[in-house]
C-alpha cells in the first residue's frame, strides 16, 4: 500500500469516527428524554415550589433556604441570586438520556456510591422530598451519572446540574459588599498612609480638600462603590493588619452611604470590612487601590 493510499484510508476512518461522534452526541444530548421514574421525579420539581435544597458532598454540606419571594440563604449567609437562578436553569434543563448500568459493581466507577456521591435533596412547600445521588461527569459535555438512593440503576443525565452541585460555600454566597447610588454621593473621606483627605462634589466637578480633582480616579472610585464585590471570604476573626485604610461616603443629608475599612497583613493580600458587619472580605490589591487611592493620584496637578 502506497503512502498516499494509506493517508486517504486514515482520513476516511477519521471521518467515520467524527460522524459517529456527532450521531452519538446527538443521540445523547439532542434526542428525546428516556421515560423513567427519575425523569418523572425531576420533571415534577418546580423551582417556585422548592423551599430548601440540601447538598451533602464528600467535603462539604450546604443548605439553601428560601428567605422570601426571590431571596435565599446558604448556611445562614445571603446567597447569590444569580447562582440560585443558574441552579433552577440547570434543573429544568436536565434530561435522562439513557440507562447505563444496573449492577452495583459499577457504582464506584461512576461515582454514585452512597458514600462517594454528592447527595442533593429538594424540599417543596408541600413537604415532599426528592433525593438524588450525583456522580461523575458523563462521556459527553455536559452530562453526569446519577441514580436514586434506593435504586441500583444508574442513568446518564444531560445538563449542567453537576457543576452547581459541586460548588463550594464561597461560590454560593453573595459577594456584594455595598451598592451605592453614586448620584447621591456628596463627600468621600479617605484615610491612607496616615493621611486623610476629602473628595467633595462641587458645581463644576469634584474637588480634593478644596482644590480641583483628577476626575479619572474619582470616576473609578464611584464605579467601584456602585456595586462593590469581594473575590472571596475570610474568617470573621481575620485581622486587617496594621495601618488600615478607610473610606467614609456621605450623602447630601450627611447620611452615611458606605463606611469601608481596608487592610493588609502582608502588603500583598487585602481584606475589607463594611461598617459594623462581622464579615471579612477578600479583595484584590488593585481594587483596594481604586477604593482608597493616594491623595497624589486624585489631586489635579
Instruction: Give the pLDDT band of residue 3 (cuts 50, 70, 90).
Output: low
Does 176-298 carry CATH code 2.60.40? yes
pLDDT tens readout for residues 209-255? 999 999 999 999 999 999 999 999 999 999 999 889 999 999 999 99
Where is pLDDT greater, at 157 or 23?
157
The pLDDT score that the predictor gives to residue 34 is 59
Q: Residue 82's CB: how many other CB atoms inside 10 A?
A: 9
Do 154 and 112 meet the contact criterion of CB atoms below 8 Å apart? yes
pTM of the model: 0.79
Q: Is 276 helix (H, G, I), strand (E, B) or coil?
A: coil
The pLDDT score that the predictor gives to residue 243 is 82
In the chain, where are the structural domains located?
33-172, 176-298
> Distance between CA atoms of 266 and 252, rounded to whole angstroms?
37
Amino acid at each position: 500500500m502506497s503512502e498516499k493510499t494509506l493517508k486517504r484510508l486514515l482520513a476516511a476512518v477519521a471521518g467515520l469516527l467524527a460522524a459517529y461522534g456527532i450521531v452519538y452526541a446527538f443521540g445523547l444530548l439532542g434526542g428525546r428524554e428516556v421515560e423513567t421514574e427519575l425523569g418523572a421525579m425531576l420533571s415534577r420539581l418546580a423551582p417556585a415550589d422548592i423551599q430548601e435544597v440540601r447538598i451533602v458532598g464528600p467535603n462539604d454540606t450546604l443548605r439553601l433556604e428560601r428567605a422570601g419571594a426571590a431571596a435565599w440563604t446558604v448556611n445562614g449567609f445571603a446567597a447569590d441570586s444569580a447562582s440560585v437562578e443558574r441552579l433552577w436553569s440547570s434543573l429544568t434543563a436536565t434530561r435522562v438520556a439513557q440507562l447505563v448500568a444496573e449492577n452495583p459493581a459499577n457504582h464506584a466507577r461512576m461515582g454514585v456510591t452512597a458514600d462517594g456521591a454528592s447527595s442533593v435533596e429538594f424540599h417543596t412547600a408541600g413537604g415532599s422530598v426528592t433525593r438524588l445521588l450525583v456522580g461523575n461527569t458523563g462521556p459527553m459535555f455536559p452530562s453526569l451519572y446519577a441514580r436514586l438512593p434506593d435504586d441500583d440503576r444508574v442513568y446518564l443525565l444531560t445538563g449542567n446540574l453537576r457543576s452547581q452541585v459541586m460548588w463550594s460555600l464561597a461560590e454560593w454566597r453573595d459577594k456584594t459588599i455595598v451598592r451605592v447610588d453614586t448620584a447621591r454621593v456628596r463627600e468621600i473621606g479617605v484615610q491612607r498612609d496616615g493621611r486623610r483627605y476629602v473628595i467633595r462634589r462641587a458645581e463644576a466637578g469634584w474637588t480634593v480638600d478644596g482644590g480641583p480633582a483628577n476626575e479619572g480616579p474619582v470616576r473609578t472610585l464611584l464605579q467601584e462603590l456602585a456595586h462593590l464585590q469581594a473575590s472571596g471570604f475570610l474568617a470573621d476573626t481575620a485581622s486587617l493588619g496594621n495601618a488600615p485604610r478607610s473610606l467614609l461616603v456621605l450623602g447630601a443629608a450627611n447620611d452615611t452611604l458606605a463606611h469601608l475599612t481596608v487592610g493588609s497583613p502582608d502588603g500583598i493580600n487585602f481584606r475589607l470590612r463594611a461598617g459594623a458587619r462581622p464579615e471579612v472580605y477578600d479583595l484584590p490589591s488593585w481594587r483596594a487601590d481604586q477604593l482608597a487611592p493616594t491623595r497624589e493620584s486624585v489631586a489635579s496637578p
